[in-house]
Amino acid sequence: MNNFVITIARNYGSGGRSIGQMLAKELNIHFYDRELLRLASDASGIHESLFAKADESTNHSALYSIAKKVYKGEIIPPDQDDFISNENLFNYQAKIIKELAQKESCIIVGRCADFILKDFDNVLRIFVHASLEDCIQTVESLNICAKHQAKNYIQTIDKRRAAYYHYFTGQNWNCASNYDLCLNTSHLNQTQCIELIKSYLKIKFGY
C-alpha cells in the first residue's frame, strides 16, 4: 500500500478532533468522522438514521458495562434477524474503515479505528489527551453546557467512549499500548501536535 491512515482517539475536550481536521487540511487528505455513517448506510442499504440512532444508543446502554461483542470482522447477512443490530451496524462501519485504509490516505477519528486496522501496516495510531482541568476550560469556552456541569459532562462522555471501545475490542480505550503516539495537549498546543504527528509520519512511512 502506498497510502497511509492516521487514526485519532481522544479525551473529550482535548482537541483531538480539531487536530485531526487541521492535519487533514495540511496533508490534503480526507477527514472521516460521522461521514462514516453515511458510507456504511450506502454499503449496507440500511437507513443512515439507524446508524445514527445506534451511535447514540450504544453510548447510553448499560449493556456495555456487563458484556462485550469483540469485533471479528463478520457481516451478518440481510436474511438474519440481527442484520440491523448494533453489532452489525458496527461491522459495516468497520468494513468501510478497512476499505478506506486500502485505497486512500485519510484521517479517521474514533470508531475504534485503531483496533479495526490493527493488522494494517500503513496505520499511525494516535491518542490525544489533556488534564481534566484543561478539558473543562475548553468545554466552558465553547459553551457546550452550563459551567457547573462541564466536569460531569466530560467524564460521562469519556466513560461512554471507554465502554464502547471495550465492548467492541475487549481492550482499554486509554491504554498507551494501543497507540503509536500519545499527545498531551495540556503540554503541547495544536500546532505542535500536528508537527509531531507529521514528523512521526515521515519517520514511520517516509512521507
The pLDDT confidence band at residue 20, using thresholds 50, 70 and 90, is: very high
pLDDT at 140 over 60: yes
The pLDDT confidence band at residue 143, using thresholds 50, 70 and 90, is: confident
Residue owning grid cell 484521517: 107
Whole-model pTM: value is: 0.87
Q: Which range (40-54, 124-138, 142-156, 189-203) has the least confidence? A: 40-54
pLDDT at 206 over 80: yes
Task: Give the pLDDT confidence score for residue 42 in this predicted structure.
Answer: 78
Inter-axis angle of helices 48-60 and 35-44, to 10 degrees? 120
**Sheet harboring 123-129: ordered strands across?**
30-32, 106-109, 5-10, 123-129, 181-184
Q: Which of 4, 1, 2, 35 is nearest to 17 (CA)?
A: 35
State the amino acid at position 112 in one-letter form.
C
Q: Residue 17 contacts by C-beta under 8 Å, 6 or more apart in sequence?
A: 8, 10, 33, 109
CA distances to 44, 104, 200 from 123, rounded to whole Å, are: 25, 12, 12
Contact in structure between 60 and 160 (CB atoms under 8 Å): yes
pLDDT, tens only, 40-87: 777 777 767 776 666 645 555 554 555 556 766 676 656 666 676 777
pLDDT, tens only, 115-138: 999 999 999 999 999 999 999 999
Contact in structure between 164 and 59 (CB atoms under 8 Å): yes
Specify which residues 5 forms β-bridges with. 106, 123
CB atoms within 10 A of CB 106: 20
Task: Give the pLDDT confidence score for residue 67 in this predicted structure.
Answer: 54
**Structural domain boundaries of the chain?**
5-205
CATH number of 5-205: 3.40.50.300
Question: Residues 66, 38, 113, 206: what is their CA dihedral angle, to the nearest 10 degrees?
Answer: 180
